Structure 1
Amino acid sequence: MAQITKAGLTFPIMNSGNRHGEVSGEPLPILMRYWRARRNPRDIPALPQTVRRATGLTQQDVAYLAGVSVRWYRQLENGVAADYSADLLDRVATALDLSPAERATLYLRAVGRPPTPYSPLQEDTAECWDQDLLQLFVDNQEPMPSYATDLSWNVVAHNLTLRRWFPWAAHGANLMRWVFLEPEARQHLVNWESDWARPFLGQLRYERAHHPANAALAQLERAILAGSQDARELWHRREVVEHSHGAVRRLRLPYHQGQEVTVRMVTVRPLRTVALCVNLLVECANPGGPSAS
């Protein structure tokens, strides 16, 4: 195995994934140490906070977040060649908060190939939707906020009102990740735990049971449970929810100057696919009590 010496240290070089079999770019150990060093443990609720905490994760931290042994993670980071599974590499990618390009690089360096592309439609490849028609549909719901999500809660279409209510939706957002991993969600979603977090986790468990081979759903589950202590605690309730159609929920958004707005959630699925949900937020009078479910 080829080696490289940097800063007085010698590292083995794993397959870089170059199609000619050539090794190029920085080796995996250097990349992984950089990825670890840039993460702030104080930003990760899943990690126990101690007085020693400083910027950067330890190998023990990453192993804990990825659900693997420290020995296994150290072996990977040190560049030891092995038949690492896609599931384990994805756990590490989630723990290190890697971008899609960085995740692909991890695969190339570790196992010599890019990750298998995954899509929420991988189990139903014949099912698809007309994106232009979908966008036209949600646009025609104005002024009612309307959006569509795929099987793993990626926002694939939204109208102008929805974007005004939730500016983050304009950037290829994932609804489930926003609810659990962004602190602002707890301020904007009234009764966050009972009315939003628990039903969403119940829906995630429902979809995972119905699509056990779906890689996007599996990665979403890992990311949420790794990044949110509250999600991990609520997950143990084993609740299963099919959808929130008809539920009354309350919002407290900057768009409404912080005033509470009550909405009824209307969810519909196109006849030709189960991988798409179209959601409308219908404003209604505040019932004056706890949100109905």
Structure 2
Amino acid sequence: MGQREELIRFLKASRGRISPAEVGLPPRDRRREKGLSRDEVAMLAGMSVTWYTWFEQGRDVQLSAPTLERLSTALRFSPREREFLFALAQHRPPPLIDSSSRTVAPSVRHMLDSLNVPALVLTEEWTVIAWNRFVARVFRDYGAMAPEDRNLFKILLQGESYKAQEDEYRDMVQRLTARLKWDYSRAIRVDVFDALIAEMMDRSELFRHFWLNGDIMAHMEGPNTRILPGLGQVSFQHTSYAVEQEPSQRLMLFAPMDAETVAILARIGAEEDSEVA
């Protein structure tokens, strides 16, 4: 079965499961088909009957993103069904929607707690909303910070300990600003980004320079080394991944780069387990 045939089947099945009464339409006498008719779907989606009919028949009809959004609403699609429609109709994901979610799914929380390496979850504007015990011990305890102070971009650019190594700090600001540019281009909450950018423009000459003249980075990864008092030096390679359940959230993982770091993490884990016991 090709994608066009799957689109036909999907649309027919979707309108067939919705009764007119569910969407406030009067019932028809002697209905020939189960669910909504094509005419009714077209009316609910603000489309012409001809265009919807051709689309459902699999003809070479290109619908705009706003039209597909209205069709998704008319057919009461779930977020996954909406993504499926866009993938079949336009061969690309739908525009991101602002879920305003500041919590993580239980499965993501379980994954964070199960890992033996530092890991955290960021919102699209870089606010840390979830972390595991290794992050609290190796980097900082976000639980001891007010939610409005948990923006990782501001923490990294304004932290005095990062500024101590001038060359490394400059390279970090360049990388972070390049990634922030990419995130800004895809932002849902543009007003939040605008406020963050304006604040950084006022507070950091380096940020201003790289924002106005720097590169763009679509992927966030790189080395991270720090010294933990009483434990020693730890070195990580950090990478980030989109959270499938919530595309506006990003998971950051810190993988140890040497045996010493692995041993220190094991020690931290054992200490945490003994405290719980």
Superposition TM-score, scaled by structure 2 size: 0.51
Q: What is the letter of the counterpart of residue 252 of structure 2?
A: N
* Unaligned ranges ≥5, structure 2: 1-95, 260-277
Per the alignment, residue 134 of structure 2 pairs with 161
Deviations 1:169-192 (A, max 9, x none): 332311100011221233489822
How far did residue 273 of structure 1 move?
Answer: 3.1
How far did residue 163 of structure 1 move?
Answer: 0.6
Whole-angstrom distance in 1 between the partners of 2:165 and 2:135: 14
Whole-angstrom distance in 1 between the partners of 2:241 and 2:166: 22
Q: Alignment length, in residue pairs? A: 160
* Unaligned ranges ≥5, structure 1: 1-122, 287-293
| Contact 1:127 1:273 survives alignment (8 Å) | no
Whole-angstrom distance in 2 between the partners of 1:273 and 1:127: 10
Deviations 1:106-145 (A, max 9, x none): xxxxxxxxxxxxxxxxx61358564433322211112x00
Per the alignment, residue 239 of structure 1 pairs with 215
| Contact 2:226 2:235 survives alignment (8 Å) | no
Equivalent of residue 195 in structure 2, options 219, 228, 238: 219
Deviations 1:227-270 (A, max 9, x none): 1122112223231111224x3x13223447663x3211121112
Q: Does 1:179 align with 2:152?
A: no
How far did residue 201 of structure 1 move?
Answer: 0.3
User: Relative to structure 2, which stretch is displaced further, 199-208 or 224-233?
Assistant: 224-233
Give me the identity figure in percent: 13
**Larger-Rg structure:** 2
Whole-angstrom distance in 2 between the partners of 1:133 and 1:255: 33
| Cα gap change, 1:212 to 1:206, in 2 (>3 Å) | same
Q: What is the letter of the counterpart of residue 167 of structure 1?
A: R
| Cα gap change, 1:234 to 1:219, in 2 (>3 Å) | same
| Cα gap change, 1:213 to 1:161, in 2 (>3 Å) | closer
SS at match of 2:163: helix
SS at match of 1:279: strand
| Cα gap change, 1:139 to 1:212, in 2 (>3 Å) | closer
Whole-angstrom distance in 1 between the partners of 2:104 and 2:253: 19
Which structure has more helix as a fraction of its residues?
A: 2
Whole-angstrom distance in 2 between the partners of 1:277 and 1:168: 19
Per the alignment, residue 250 of structure 1 pairs with 224
Q: What is the letter of the counterpart of residue 178 of structure 1?
A: I
Per the alignment, residue 282 of structure 1 pairs with 255
